[in-house]
Amino acid sequence: MNKLAVFDLDGTLHHTELALAPAIARATKDLTGEEPPFSLINSLYGEPLELFCKVLTGSEEDSVREKFIQRVQFHQAETLPVSGELYPGVVSMLEKLKSMGFDLAILSNAHTKYIVLVTEILGIRNSFVSLTGRSDEPSKTARLAELSRNYDFTVMIGDRYHDILAGLENDLPVIACSYGYGSAEEHHGAITVDHASSIVPVIQKMLTK
C-alpha cells in the first residue's frame, strides 16, 4: 500500500509564533511605524502572507504587499535560527511514520521559499518528498487532490480550517492539531489530537479500519 501523510507547517509542525511573530511585527513596523500585538498576528496563521499585509498594514496595494513580504523574509532569516522551534514530539513522530512506510509531504498556504527555509533551519527538510506552498491555485483542496492522486491511503494533518476542509473535501481522513492556532469549531469532522506524539497512534487506528 502506498501511504502519504500530508502536513500543514505552521501550527502543526512549526511552533510559529516563537520566530515568525517577531519577524512579522518588525516588518509591519518598517511599513507603518508601529508593531501590532502578537495576539493579532497569531490569529492569522494559516492565511496567506498577503492577508497578513492587508490586516496589519491596512493596505492592499501591490507595492506595499511586495515590500511587506520582502521585510518579513528579511527579518525571519534572522529570527528563525535563533528562536525557531518544532513542537515537542514532531521529530519522533515523523521518524515513526517513515518507518511505517509513509511518504511525508508539507502542504501550506505559505510561499515555498518560506517552507524550505523553516524546514532546513529546523532540520527536517529531508523528511519530506514534497514541499507544496501557495501557488496560482489557492485552493488547498485542489493541491491536496494532486498530492494524493497516486496513493492508496492519504491522511491530512493540520490546525486551521483550510487544512480540515481540504481533507474532508477530498474524502480523506483528517487529524486536527488542537495545540496549534485553530479553534474547536474549525476542527469539526476531524479527529483531534493535543500533542504531536498522538498523531501516529491515530493513524495506526485509521489503517486498521
**pLDDT at residue 45 tops 90:** no
Strands 3-7 and 174-177: unpaired
Homologous superfamily (CATH) of 3-15+86-208 is: HAD superfamily/HAD-like (3.40.50.1000)
Q: Does CATH place domain 20-83 in 2.30.30?
A: no
Question: Quick one: pLDDT at residue 138?
Answer: 65
Q: Report the alpha-carbon distance of residue 177 to residue 190 in Å, rounded.
A: 9
The fraction of the chain above a pLDDT of 70, given in percent, is 99
Question: Quick one: pLDDT at residue 139?
Answer: 85
Arithmetic mean of pLDDT, 134-147: 84
What's the chain's average pLDDT? 94
Q: Report the alpha-carbon distance of residue 52 to residue 40 in Å, rounded.
A: 10
Please state the domain extents for the chain.
3-15+86-208, 20-83
